[in-house]
Amino acid sequence: MKKVLVTGAGGFIGSHVVEELLKENVAVRVLLKPDESPVNLREFDIEIMRGDILDNESVSLAVKGTDTVFHLAAIYSIWMKDWSRIYEVNMQGTQNILWAAVKSNVERVVYTSSIAAIGIAPGKQASNEDTPFNQYTLGNHYILTKYLSQQIARSFAKNGLDVVIVNPCFPFGTKDIVPTPTGQLIVDILKGKNFFAFAGGINIVDVRDVARGHVLAAKKGRTGELYILGNLNVTMKEFLRMVYKVAGFKARPVIPTFIPVIKMSAYCFKWWSDHVSHATPMSTPPEVKYASQYLFFDTYKARNELGLTLSPTEESLRDSVRWFRENGYAK
């Protein structure tokens, strides 16, 4: 890698990917939306271009002169008044980037997919890169667009473009300015707003490990292959207790919550958003249905083929809690 383009660089994972690339002494160009804040990038010596990934001219200019492209730009949302935008950005935007890479003779593309684009194995079994996608009936537009976008990337790989696909699990860490779903879980726990645990689990991973996994994928990944970037599989009860411990909380309860109760609440939240507030609800039925599964993943392939090493999760969580407190998200 000599000169790279990073889309979605202003975001949580993207800004850490930029930091990892700079450690490699790579010249970095980023493509930000016209109105996007560069706050996560202000400490870096990089080239910033403005444009929309749905605008082919902007995309072509951004890709031109680079040898490697990291495509992270995407929309994540659990609720939108008009879902058309998420399909346009996540699918058409991906296709625009990949076509521009073909036309500019880019040597390699690392496409950031998600574990949402991988199937879920039964019970507490860990899914891997070969687990067939089986989440069609959820009604979750984000999950569906990430799977379809991943299929677009794989079709380009089959037709001659050197594309490697990475699938991050549930990252946490510094610079989570939005915050992400995992980050919001931590913030709510720190604020005392969340001490409920429902059946289900997630795979948590330090965002710095995810960023390093992107760079390793560019160096060592096999064309057309998926690489899950995750670390520790934990139940929701275990996750709450881990955050309690690193946050220094004593004797806080973990209250079991039944999924039917959460689903009923989610239906109410969605109805209110659809008909009254027109703002993103706390939760939606498709989100609850997905999250109540055991979203456990096997990270062997990334560790074995890419050489990805993973940080101790307790230390990483401590860094995340410290960042949220220092930046005013929680006391």
- pLDDT string in tens for the chain (331-residue length): 899 999 999 999 999 999 999 999 999 999 999 999 999 999 999 999 999 999 999 999 999 999 999 999 999 998 899 999 999 999 999 999 999 999 999 999 999 999 999 999 999 999 999 999 999 998 999 999 999 999 999 999 999 999 999 999 999 999 999 999 899 989 988 988 766 677 889 999 999 999 999 999 999 999 999 999 999 999 998 999 999 999 998 766 666 666 677 778 887 988 889 889 988 887 888 888 898 899 999 999 999 999 999 999 999 999 999 999 999 998 7
CB-based burial label for 105 (10 Å; 0-12, 13-18, 19+): exposed
In the chain, where are the structural domains located? 3-176+204-231+297-311
Strand order of the β-sheet with 232-235 is 170-172, 201-206, 232-235
Q: Is 214 left (phi over 0), alpha (psi -120 to 50) or beta?
A: alpha
Of 255, 135, 136, 242, nearest to 190 by C-alpha is 242
Cβ atoms of residues 40 and 10 within 8 Å: yes
In this prediction, residue 267 carries a pLDDT of: 78
Cβ atoms of residues 236 and 259 within 8 Å: no
300, two tokens: 């062997």
In this prediction, residue 271 carries a pLDDT of: 86
In this prediction, residue 199 carries a pLDDT of: 81
Q: Can you say whether the dihedral through the CA atoms of 331, 282, 86, 168 is positive or negative?
A: positive
To the nearest 10 degrees (0 to 180), the angle between helices 56-63 and 93-103 is: 50
d(C-alpha 153, C-alpha 67), whole Å: 17
The identity of residue 67, as a single letter, is D
3-state secondary structure the chain: CCEEEEECCCCHHHHHHHHHHHHCCCEEEEEECCCCCCHHHCCCCCEEEECCCCCHHHHHHHHCCCCEEEECCCCCCCCCCCCHHHHHHHHHHHHHHHHHHHHCCCCEEEEECCHHHCCCCCCCCCECCCCCCCCHHHCCHHHHHHHHHHHHHHHHHHCCCCEEEEEECEEECCCCCCCCHHHHHHHHHHCCCCCEEECCEEEEEEHHHHHHHHHHHHHHCCCCCEEEECCEEEEHHHHHHHHHHHHCCCCCCCEEECHHHHHHHHHHHHHHHHHHHCCCCCCCHHHHHHHCCECCECCHHHHHHHCCCCCCHHHHHHHHHHHHHHCCCCC
In this prediction, residue 229 carries a pLDDT of: 98
Of 116, 109, 98, nearest to 167 by C-alpha is 116
CATH class of the domain whose range is 3-176+204-231+297-311: alpha beta
To the nearest 10 degrees (0 to 180), the angle between helices 313-326 and 236-247 is: 60
In this prediction, residue 292 carries a pLDDT of: 87
Cβ atoms of residues 96 and 59 within 8 Å: yes
In this prediction, residue 195 carries a pLDDT of: 65
In this prediction, residue 257 carries a pLDDT of: 67
In this prediction, residue 256 carries a pLDDT of: 65
173, two tokens: 């860490």
Cβ atoms of residues 284 and 142 within 8 Å: no
The pTM score is 0.95
